């Protein structure tokens, strides 16, 4: 009898999604209050600030360009320190979560799915996340922990190392093509592009929005069913000898 070989096609199972990892801004957290705070800090009406912010995104620029319009030479890190000193530290809480977050996470945990959170966050908001999702998220991993931030693909490589599963067994859910979907896909993760927040809404018709993600969703409530359907399709492919 031939020795067992892991690379024998008979033993090569298709990679099903075993872990779902969420981005934070505009995926779990509605950032409206945060950006409204910046508009107030600049002394600009919210509507005006949002319009200029959106114009920067639509031109493919960093949103910080919007600050330049109102205050040339704006130093985000310095101004954040000043806001913190003025009693307005960067934070979010339960009331800033999108309304579908809690129910989706409960449904997914009850279905036995492994959940994590990975995003660019400050040490302070990393701690907030760990408190908010204690008992639900198997892992909260942020740029502050890793010393590497999205969109550096290394961020996702370190996430894969941390989870100790194959990249294609992870579904990363995020709202930005440039920060989430493209770098995660480049490392081999499956991706879900969620259509909410300024980035995903402005980029909804971008060719990459159709081409890059494994799936596109309008809200988190779709995730459990979409993952189950994806895994069933992979299992069916394996049963018939094909691997999707």
Positions that interact with Mg ion (CB under 5 A):
23, 25-26, 175
Nearest residue to Mg ion on Cβ basis: 25
Question: Phi and psi (nearest 5°) for 193?
Answer: -95, 115
Say how far apart CA 179 and CA 168 lie, in whole Å.
18
| Cα–Cα distance list, 167 to 19, 118, 161, 204 (Å) | 10, 14, 9, 25
Nearer to Mg ion by Cβ, of 170 and 234: the residue is 170
Task: Tell the smallest beta-carbon distance from residue 41 to Mg ion (Å).
Answer: 21
Task: Tell the smallest beta-carbon distance from residue 31 to Mg ion (Å).
Answer: 8
Task: Tell the smallest beta-carbon distance from residue 23 to Mg ion (Å).
Answer: 4
Nearer to Mg ion by Cβ, of 175 and 234: the residue is 175
Nearer to Mg ion by Cβ, of 25 and 213: the residue is 25
Task: Tell the smallest beta-carbon distance from residue 234 to Mg ion (Å).
Answer: 27
Is 86 in contact with 78 (CB distance < 8 Å)?
A: no
**Of 159, 162, 207, 223, residue with least CA distance to 187:** 159
**Paired tokens of 114:** 């492994």
| Cα–Cα distance list, 164 to 19, 98, 167, 169 (Å) | 11, 29, 9, 10
Say how far apart CA 64 and CA 56 lie, in whole Å.
8
Nearer to Mg ion by Cβ, of 100 and 231: the residue is 100
Nearer to Mg ion by Cβ, of 38 and 234: the residue is 38
Task: Tell the smallest beta-carbon distance from residue 199 to Mg ion (Å).
Answer: 7
**Paired tokens of 73:** 């030479």
Helix (H) or strand (E) holding 135: none
Nearer to Mg ion by Cβ, of 114 and 199: the residue is 199
Task: Tell the smallest beta-carbon distance from residue 35 to Mg ion (Å).
Answer: 13
């Amino acid at each position: 009898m031939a020795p067992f070989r892991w690379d024998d096609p008979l033993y090569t199972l298709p990679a099903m999604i075993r872990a779902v990892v969420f981005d934070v801004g505009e995926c779990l957290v509605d950032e409206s209050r945060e950006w409204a705070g910046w508009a107030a800090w600049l002394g600009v009406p919210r509507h005006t600030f949002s319009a200029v912010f959106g114009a920067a995104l639509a031109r493919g620029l960093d949103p910080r360009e919007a600050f330049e319009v109102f205050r040339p030479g704006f130093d985000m890190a310095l101004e954040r320190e000043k806001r913190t000193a003025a009693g307005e530290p960067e934070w979010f809480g339960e009331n800033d979560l999108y309304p579908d977050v809690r129910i989706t996470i409960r449904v997914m945990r009850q279905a036995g799915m492994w959940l994590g959170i990975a995003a660019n966050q400050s040490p302070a908001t990393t701690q907030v996340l760990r408190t908010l999702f204690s008992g639900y998220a198997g892992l909260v991993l942020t740029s502050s922990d890793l010393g590497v931030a999205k969109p550096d693909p290394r961020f996702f490589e370190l996430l894969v190392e941390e989870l100790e599963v194959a990249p294609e067994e992870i579904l990363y859910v995020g709202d930005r093509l440039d920060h989430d979907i493209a770098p995660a896909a480049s490392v081999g993760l499956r991706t879900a592009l969620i259509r909410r927040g300024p980035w995903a809404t402005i980029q909804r018709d971008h060719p990459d929005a159709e081409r890059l993600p494994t799936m596109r969703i309008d809200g988190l409530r779709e995730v459990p069913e979409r993952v189950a359907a994806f895994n069933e399709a992979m299992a069916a492919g394996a049963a018939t000898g094909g691997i999707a």
